[in-house]
Amino acid sequence: MTQTDMKGVIVIAQLIKLQDYISRYEWDTFRYPTQYIRVKKQNWDKLYEKWAEPERPVYFEAEAQNESEEMSTFAKFKALFRRESLLDSEEDEEPVSEPLPDTEEELKQYFLDKIFHFQLKWATSTVNRISFVHKKYYDDPLLKYLLQRFPDTYLLMYYPVFNIKKAPIDGEILLISPIGIEIIYFMEEDEQAVIMAGDERTWTVQKPNSSAKVLNPTIALKRTEHIINRILHTHDVEFPVYKTVLSRTNSIVFAMKPYQTELIGKNEYPNWFQEKRKLTSSLKNKQLKTVELLLRHCQSISVQRPEWQEDVSLRTIGDLEES
């Protein structure tokens, strides 16, 4: 078996909406998910082949070679990796060249971390418009976790802001697979805490020496569910919607499980996670149609980008492939 045959497959969920920032996916919902999967694989394959060559280490150049139509997609993908966040892009500091990692596992994580910044570009800009992004998202551990641990066919809406009757309404995390929408409310408390679930307006977080009341998370889940069902019903689209309260760090104790809501504590989380990872279905037309409708009813705040025609970072995977 050759090194190329042995290389791992990189899977990473797609960030299609981040809060109220403009997204490539709302611009063309049916084009970008499949195109992203295809070109991501091409770039990983090429990066792996470069890494596997005897003359390692391989360096990413500090300057883009050129911006002509002959410039390879891979070279432009590397150029994207060198760009700073949208907030810092005007500084134009020349980064220090860096060698590729020594091991394959490190190479995979290296690729995931670099492509994470690319995903933020697509989730906060179109070819000619751009949103001003809060820096916190570039180091958001939960956002990275959701993107780097689930298959490509999971489409993530990270706390989208819906626009219903011209009024903005905050939504919860949506993980949209080919078989349904899962609305997720994460509860991450001190590891010694136990979450006591109930059917009243508040739940209790019990710690060794204290306890605290928190708002019942099912209230927020039901609000988001109502918005989604209303949008889909208006357009005569049927797509399953599920609600989940999830904690990776705490047990969730309850006498009676909330109606049509899964409670996934730290003991149940490994099985929940593996079930999601095992889904092998490809992107589905109904899934993309559902996403298109949801994005159409989301709020997006952006401004015109004057230099968009020549911006390498915004013309990388999808746009340059067709140029």
C-alpha to C-alpha distance for 95 and 114, rounded to whole angstroms: 14
β-pair type (14-18, 241-246) = unpaired
Confidence of residue 98 (pLDDT cuts 50, 70, 90): low
pLDDT of 202 over the 90 cut: yes
Q: What is the DSSP letter of 59?
A: B
Counting Cα atoms < 13 Å in the Cβ hemisphere of 90 gives 4
C-alpha to C-alpha distance for 174 and 157, rounded to whole angstroms: 5
Q: Which two tokens stand for residue 65?
A: 């070679």
Q: Where are the domains of the chain?
A: 1-159+305-323
The rounded Cα 108 to chain-centroid distance in angstroms is: 17
Which pLDDT tens digit goes with each residue over 49-78?
A: 888 874 644 443 333 333 333 334 445 445
Backbone CA torsion sign across 207, 209, 210, 211: positive
Single pTM value for the model:
0.82
Which pLDDT tens digit goes with each residue over 130-187?
A: 999 999 999 999 999 999 999 999 999 999 999 998 899 999 999 999 999 999 999 9
Query: What's residue 321's pLDDT?
Result: 41
How far separated are the first and last CA of the chain, in Å rounded? 36
Q: In 3-state terms, what secondary structure has residue 232?
A: helix
273-296 mean pLDDT: 95
